[in-house]
Amino acid sequence: MEQEIDVAFIKRDFSVEPESASVLDDNLMAFFPGLSRQDKHYIKNSLRWAEHQADLRYSRKLDPAQWFEHLSGRLWSVGWSLEHAPVQVVQSNYSGSLVESWAKALSTQVSRARLQKIKDTFVALEHDRSALDLFAERAQQSGDFRFLPAEYNRAKELEIVVTNVRLLSTNWSSAFLFWEVEHPASQLDIRVRRFSARPREMDKYRDMLAEAVRDMRFSELELKV
């Protein structure tokens, strides 16, 4: 069931939860087991706020590179460390599977478990018509979409790998899976960056982020994984 999220106040609950996944407008999020409800809200609030800040400065459609860089900078400003330089995949005449292209580009930087987690989450999205319609509609409106896996790493830091996909294609429709590109004239722009946040940093910015996105309206649907 689609819901409008009210982030005015969320009771703090740091108990860990099982794996889950959700569509948040044009974001597809895959959460490994071990994250708390508050961890997930911190990720969602960070991303929504950073997207809004990037939209104020740059056009996603006209300048995706600068938009993503500003998004990264805004995430850094609320406790997320930038891990390594961004990975880029830019092709002017593209066809194929976006997920497979992403997996190939990230094969040396992302674990097999994370790669498989994203693939499984896209499969779950394919089988949820309401979530697929929401995701496709928002992606059409913005001209791009994002997906990310989230888990705690060995250093006990919350880690996300944010992938921003800008696709110029005639087939932006949930009637077919638009991440399986068949039109040879499609233009693809993928930018990926890894971020990590320590619990102390999250505590520092948690309330500020909740307040910053208080009046933002966005839709979220949970996926069955």
Query: Residues 159-176: pLDDT tens digits?
Result: 999 999 887 765 554 444
Query: Residues 80-118: pLDDT tens digits?
Result: 999 777 888 887 777 777 788 878 877 777 888 888 888
> Across the beta sheet with 27-31, what order do the strands follow?
3-4, 219-223, 20-24, 27-31, 144-152, 158-168, 180-197, 81-97
Contact present, 147 and 28 (Cβ < 8 Å): yes
Average per-residue pLDDT for the chain: 84
Partners of 36 in the β-ladder: 16
Where are the chain's structural domains?
20-223
Query: Residues 123-153: pLDDT tens digits?
Result: 899 889 999 989 988 888 888 889 999 999 9
Q: CA-to-CA distance for 112 and 117, rounded, in angstroms?
A: 8
Residue 68 has pLDDT above 70, yes or no: yes
pTM for this one?
A: 0.86
Q: CA-to-CA distance for 59 and 62, rounded, in angstroms?
A: 5
Q: Note the CATH architecture for domain 20-223.
A: 3-Layer(aba) Sandwich (3.40)
pLDDT recorded at residue 11: 42
